[in-house]
């Protein structure tokens, strides 16, 4: 009787582990990400699932998109997409902060960086919102000027 119980326990455990592994790999194959829009009418952020872009084909983000590794809108700072080079599949981005009134936003100083589309989309999977890039304020002309104010 004990042998049957232990064999059944081992069989059930094995099936549970195999089922979890298959479910996990199935979820990874879907390759989706959550998109957060700033607010709904009720003031609560809306989320929408978008299919992930295929590296080297279509960029997921566009100029003016504010993105992050977290869906926490109140977390500061975030990244803003400044440009995309389709020949190199690279995004240009910089750090953006929210204003005191929670509107978007400003850069302390311009310090844009380039990184591959694959890296940016993998490490920053959440689209927080989109702004008009011409509305982006820069508080200091350079990092050196900013450092002198501290």
Tokens of 52: 């992930």
Looking up tokens 């279509």 gives 58
Which string of b and e fits 132-150 if b means at least 16 CB within 10 Å? eeeebeeebeeeeeeeeee
Contacts of 9 (CB under 8 A, 6+ apart): none
| Contact present, 61 and 116 (Cβ < 8 Å) | no
Task: Give the best-scoring range by mean pLDDT among 20-29, 41-50, 117-126.
Answer: 117-126
- Give the mean pLDDT of 101-105: 87
pLDDT of 68 over the 80 cut: yes
Specify the pLDDT at position 111: 95
Give the model's confidence band at 29: pLDDT under 50 very low, under 70 low, under 90 confident, else very high. very low
CA distances (Å), origin 112, targets 93, 94, 100, 108: 5, 5, 23, 12
pLDDT of 15 over the 60 cut: no
Alpha helices in 66-114 (DSSP H): none
Q: How many CB atoms lie within 10 A of CB 53?
A: 16
| Contact present, 32 and 49 (Cβ < 8 Å) | yes
pLDDT of 85 over the 90 cut: yes
Give the model's confidence band at 58: pLDDT under 50 very low, under 70 low, under 90 confident, else very high. confident
The residue among 22 and 97 whose pLDDT is bigger is: 97
Give the model's confidence band at 9: pLDDT under 50 very low, under 70 low, under 90 confident, else very high. very low
DSSP code string of 19-42? HHHHHHHHHHHH-EEEEEES--TT
Domain boundaries defined on the chain:
1-30, 31-148
| Contact present, 108 and 139 (Cβ < 8 Å) | yes
Residues in the chain: 150
């Amino acid at each position: 009787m004990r042998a049957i119980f232990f064999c059944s326990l081992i069989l059930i455990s094995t099936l549970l582990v195999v089922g979890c592994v298959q479910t996990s790999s199935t979820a990874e194959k879907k390759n989706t990400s959550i998109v957060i829009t700033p607010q709904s009418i009720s003031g609560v952020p809306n989320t929408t699932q978008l299919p992930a872009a295929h590296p080297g084909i279509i960029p997921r983000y566009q100029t003016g998109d504010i993105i992050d590794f977290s869906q926490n809108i109140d977390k500061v700072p975030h990244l803003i997409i400044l440009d995309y080079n389709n020949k190199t599949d690279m995004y240009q981005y910089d750090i953006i902060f929210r204003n005191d009134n929670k509107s978007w936003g400003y850069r302390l100083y311009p310090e844009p960086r380039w990184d591959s589309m694959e890296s940016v989309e993998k490490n920053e999977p959440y689209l927080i919102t989109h702004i008009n890039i011409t509305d982006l304020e820069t508080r200091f002309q350079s990092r050196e000027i900013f450092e002198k104010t501290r």
